[in-house]
Structure 1
Amino acid sequence: MNSTSTTVLTGGAGILGSRMSERLLTEGHTLAIIDRNPDLLKETVDRLGSLGTLKGYQADVTSPSEVQSIRERIEAELGQVDVLINAAAGKSENFFEPFETFPLSDWNEVMNINVNSAMVCSQVFGKPMADRGNGSIINILSIYGIVAPDQRIYEGSEYLGRAINTPAIYSASKAALWGLTKYLSSYWGAQNVRVNAVTPGGVFSGQNDTFVERYSARVPLGRMAQPNEIADAVAFLASDRATYISGQNLIVDGGLTVW
């Protein structure tokens, strides 16, 4: 897409989403960010609005009717949507519960946010792209949708003072999103809609030293990722520099998956 593209980014006020927003604005995208958290949404728009054309929209991206309504507003205010980036993701109340006792209700909740939202948004925004014969969809995965987590990393690991792990639902939902990516790249390929994925490795965002050291030891480059390094990969796939790339997963993991 060229520098005048109108781009929709779900989860655009999150840790990675806000950095993606910043990067896309500096490349000239007209940007609509969708997030369910009104306070984070306002903070992101206020902080980044001076970089370019940016509007925030609060919505539940698992709801077809809400997403359809938001699409109509975006088209009326910013024009037709050329790029969709599905970055919305979520946790549940019992997200770090062991697999043996992980509640099915929490499983369904996370699957709804991580996978169903991408399906709904791809339906609502992707069909007009296919009808026009041009567009790009980018799904944000996780390294643990590609490989299993090394459970040894989590012994004594914390995030903002809380013990952490990578639950099975996270791996399963992100693996499902990779399957959807491949399917849609074939389904809409003849209509010139490119569908790709970006898979971040571990991104530093407040983990304790134990986690950082153990995770970094598993990475050939010897460190965790910075949010801007993931944002750069997304911006590349959203640009005209990637017009012959579809059905691919750009893994930004410092080399972790070579081992």
Structure 2
Amino acid sequence: MTGFKDLFDLSGRTAVITGGCGILGRRFAEGLAEFGANVALLDLDEQAVQSAASEISARHSTRAKGYACDITQPEAVRRVADAIEADLGPVSILLNNAASKTRDVDAFFAPVATFSLETWREIMAVNLDGMFNVAQVFGTLMAGRGYGSIVQTASIYGLMAPDQRIYEGSEYLGRAINTPAVYTASKAGVIGLTKHLAAYWGAQGVRVNTLTPGGVESGQNDTFKQRYGARVPLGRMARADEMVGAVLFLVSDAASYVTGQNIAVDGGLSAW
């Protein structure tokens, strides 16, 4: 009989992580590699993503490779899927994790009254269109083989609206911040997309779930951290590493009967 510990073993599996150089994506890749998976990191910056993959390979007894890919371009996603499977073998795990704030940070943080449709579409092109492009390509490959697990990263603000009161005097990396409506709308869309794909591919053995992180500490000033933490039952923001356990569960055989679900790792914020 297989021991329960073995349910989390990912040895010999190939995992793709989009947004692989990001705050969460990099930690996801490290966690999967530590549990035995070969990992393919996708991001826009070729040098950065290849460097990240090299560091992961050096630390773990698995293979890691980095690929530059613009997920808003369906053909680019198809090409990178072919390259990954040629290099690392059939993909059975996808962490659909990439998201964008746009290069124009002022446009991203603009208030609703002046937020441009151009910026809205730019964000949606990555956060929702790109997520569909990636799920479509890799999910179809998995369905053809009869197995696979997809985890899509949403946000607590896909479940609830941000409390505008926490933003007064709040900063991120030295500049004033808020959470724009496009972010909330795109992350709510991720949750809906997950449910649809879980139902669509369930009969083909592909599980699709959502990871919904609460606020992750990553450069916010003390004002924001204190105000956010005061709204959370556990009393603080999350650390990036605290998201990895949920991902490992969802992609492993320990979650073999879990699909279409949204796992909120939010310190209890959504329990109020």
TM-score, with structure 2 as normaliser: 0.93
Query: Is residue 2:150 matched to residue 1:142?
Result: no
Give the AA of the match of 1:226: R
Percentage identity across paired residues of the two chains: 54
Give the AA of the match of 2:45: N
Equivalent position of 1:161 in the other structure = 174
Equivalent position of 1:83 in the other structure = 93
Equivalent position of 1:191 in the other structure = 204
Equivalent position of 1:68 in the other structure = 78
Equivalent position of 2:14 in the other structure = 6
Equivalent position of 1:218 in the other structure = 231
Equivalent position of 1:47 in the other structure = 55
Give the AA of the match of 1:42: Q
Query: Is residue 2:31 matched to residue 1:59?
Result: no
Equivalence map 1:80-119=2 (5 Å): 80-92=90-102, 93=104, 94-119=107-132
How far, CA to CA, are the matches of 1:125 and 1:45 in structure 2? 20
Gap runs ≥5 in structure 2: 1-8
Gap runs ≥5 in structure 1: none
How far, CA to CA, are the matches of 2:177 and 2:245 in structure 1? 27
How far, CA to CA, are the matches of 1:24 and 1:57 in structure 2? 17
How far, CA to CA, are the matches of 2:226 and 2:206 in structure 1? 41
CA RMSD of aligned residues (A): 1.0
Query: Is residue 2:254 matched to residue 1:241?
Result: yes
Q: CA deviation at 1:40?
A: 2.7
Give the AA of the match of 1:63: Q
Helix, strand or coil at the partner of 1:136: strand
Q: Runs of 4 or more off by more than 6 Å in structure 1?
A: none
Q: CA deviation at 1:46?
A: 3.1
CA offset digits 1:14-52 (Å, max 9, x no partner): 111111111111011110011002243133123222122
Counterpart among 15, 20, 27 of residue 19 in structure 1: 27
**C-alpha contact (below 8 Å) 1:38/1:58 kept by paired residues:** yes
Give the AA of the match of 1:115: L
Query: Is residue 2:41 matched to residue 1:33?
Result: yes
**C-alpha contact (below 8 Å) 1:3/1:29 kept by paired residues:** yes
Helix, strand or coil at the partner of 1:23: helix
How far, CA to CA, are the matches of 2:27 and 2:10 in structure 1? 20
Helix, strand or coil at the partner of 2:66: strand
Equivalent position of 2:244 in the other structure = 231
Helix, strand or coil at the partner of 2:215: coil
Range with bigger deviation, 224-233 or 246-255? 224-233
Q: CA deviation at 1:231?
A: 1.6
Q: CA deviation at 1:179?
A: 0.5
